[in-house]
Amino acid sequence: MTSGGSPRVCYLDFASNRLIYARSNGTDYWTESVIDYDIGTKGSCAIAVPEDKSGIQPVGYNNPRVAYYDDVSDSVKYAAPPLISTEPWSVQTVATVPGPRTIDLYLDKQGRASIIYFNSANLKLQLAKWQ
């Protein structure tokens, strides 16, 4: 949800294999942006928003973070939005592992990401955590 209570989602656009982030204004329209242009047909995603507990909105707070599986490169990736909306999202590869996966993303109170994903190669849940 946005700070105003409007929904946010990430989803795979199956027609073009793009990963999309969409935010509602809460009444009558959605704003969409492309996170990644070719993630294949088995991509999935999780979205989280860092919370500002201090009352001081530092840069990057109230902006979504997205963890997702890129089927084309067989990798788990982490994305953050640009400071300027016309720029591309910042994307990092977290792990390269084959097979479709379930992704979960958690942000701690400092906005650091923890990504849990299922590795179908070794049949284990794995954790990637930023310090």
Let me know if residue 14 belongs to a domain: no
**Arithmetic mean of pLDDT over the chain:** 83
Domain-located, residue 92: yes
Global pTM value? 0.85
Given this model, what pLDDT does residue 57 score? 46
Could you give the C-alpha distances from 71 to 7, 16, 34, 38, 108, in angstroms and in order? 26, 13, 16, 9, 27
The DSSP bridge partners found for residue 22 are 9, 32
Report the domain count for the chain. 1
Q: Give the residue carrying structure tokens 């989803």.
A: 11
Q: Which of 5-14, 31-40, 46-55 has maximum average pLDDT?
A: 31-40
* pLDDT above 70: percentage of residues in the chain: 84
Residue with tokens 């047909």: 41
Label residue 111 left, alpha or beta by phi (over 0 means left) and psi (-120 to 50 means alpha): left
pLDDT at 56: 46
Q: With respect to residue 28, please indicate whether it lies within any of the assigned structural domains.
A: no
Is the pLDDT assigned to residue 47 strictly greater than 80?
Answer: yes
Asked if 67 contacts 103 with a C-beta cutoff of 8 angstroms, the reply is yes
Question: Quick one: average pLDDT of 34-54?
Answer: 83
Average pLDDT, integer, range 49-67: 65
Q: Is residue 25 part of a domain?
A: no
| 59 located within any domain | yes
Q: Which domain holds residue 50?
A: 39-129
Residue 121 lies in a domain: yes
Tell me the pLDDT band of 53, cut-offs 50, 70 and 90.
low
Residue 83 falls within a domain, yes or no? Answer: yes
| pLDDT, tens digit, 9 for 90 and up, residues 73-114 | 999 999 999 888 788 999 999 998 877 668 899 998 888 899
Per-residue pLDDT, 44: 84
Q: Is residue 26 part of a domain?
A: no
d(CA 99, CA 109): 31
Residue that wins the pLDDT comparison between 6 and 23: 23
